[in-house]
């Protein structure tokens, strides 16, 4: 096969540039859409548990379990996704990085706290009902994700927020931190979607409400799972988009302690 001519190559490049420009979306409107989608996911999981699963309580009944999906979706998916996107905000591209590092770490810590509370709810429910723990694939994925999340947060705090962390360590660990950030989000989405599916299989069993008959609850929860999946994919796509990444800087402000950022 003959190699393409210079004219054909130029046409191809122009077509690629035109296609890229057509797909170019400003970050802030995209971020607003993601925020709306995330809030919708939280509202839907809360509505599902309130309307079809009996509401919420702390008495060890199935209503205690209902805290689990709400807290996991809110913390492990939506708030974690917000933390991941902090450095894509154009306002973070100039000035000291430390305040944005603190915001990023604080949002991630809030997500982790909600996640731990969500795990506590499901363990409390299982222990109160005499149900075994950690036997399903969903539980394995979920606990593995949380353990990986805890290691990610601790390593990120030590490498990027402690003022005495050496520069070479930050340079070495940064791509690892970025990779596992996206990986944890995808695992979180997989855990939540598999949990929704598992809950529907366990709950919709009787003759008039079988899952295979696709009652209203199944349609609602399946839609929730699809929205969570779309949210996770869009966040990862935003993280991978080169034009939305913060430009690398050799400035030493990231190594300054917190008080130095106030000058």
For the segment 183-229, what is each residue's pLDDT rounded down to a tens digit? Answer: 999 999 999 999 999 999 999 987 778 999 999 999 999 999 999 99
For the segment 68-107, what is each residue's pLDDT rounded down to a tens digit? Answer: 999 999 999 999 999 999 989 888 888 888 899 999 999 9
d(CA 45, CA 224): 7
d(CA 98, CA 256): 8
The residues, any chain, with a CB within 8 Å of residue 204's CB and separated by 6 or more, are 210, 211, 215, 217, 218
The pTM of the whole model exceeds 0.95: no
Q: Please tell me the total number of residues recorded for the chain in this structure.
A: 263
* DSSP secondary structure string for all residues of 96-140: -SHHHHHHHHHHHHHHHHHHHHHHHHHHHHHHHHTPPSS-SHHHH
Specify whether the CB–CB gap between 68 and 57 falls below 8 A.
no
Q: Which domains does the chain have, with CATH numbers?
A: 27-242 (1.20.120.1770)
């Amino acid at each position: 096969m003959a190699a393409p001519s210079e004219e054909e190559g130029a046409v191809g490049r122009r077509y690629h540039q035109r296609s890229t420009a057509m797909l170019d979306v400003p970050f802030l409107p995209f971020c607003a859409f993601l925020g709306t989608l995330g809030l919708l996911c939280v509202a839907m999981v809360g509505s599902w548990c309130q309307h079809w699963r009996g509401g919420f309580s702390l008495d060890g009944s199935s209503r205690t379990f209902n805290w689990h999906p709400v807290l996991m979706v809110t913390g492990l998916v939506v708030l974690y996704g917000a933390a991941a996107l902090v450095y894509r905000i154009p306002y973070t591209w100039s000035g000291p990085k430390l305040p944005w590092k603190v915001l990023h770490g604080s949002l991630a810590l809030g997500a982790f706290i909600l996640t731990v509370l969500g795990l506590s709810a499901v363990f409390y429910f299982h222990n109160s009902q005499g149900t075994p723990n950690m036997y399903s694939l969903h539980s394995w994925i979920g606990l593995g994700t949380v353990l990986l999340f805890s290691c990610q947060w601790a390593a990120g705090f030590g490498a990027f927020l402690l003022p005495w962390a050496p520069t070479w360590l930050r340079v070495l660990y940064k791509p690892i931190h970025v990779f596992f950030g996206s990986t944890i989000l995808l695992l979180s989405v997989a855990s939540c979607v598999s949990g929704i599916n598992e809950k529907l299989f366990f709950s919709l069993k009787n003759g008039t409400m079988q899952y295979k008959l696709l009652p209203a609850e199944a349609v609602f929860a399946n839609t929730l799972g699809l929205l969570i999946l779309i949210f996770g994919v869009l966040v990862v796509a935003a993280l991978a988009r080169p034009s939305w990444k913060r430009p690398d800087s050799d400035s030493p402000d990231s190594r300054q302690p917190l008080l130095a950022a106030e000058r």
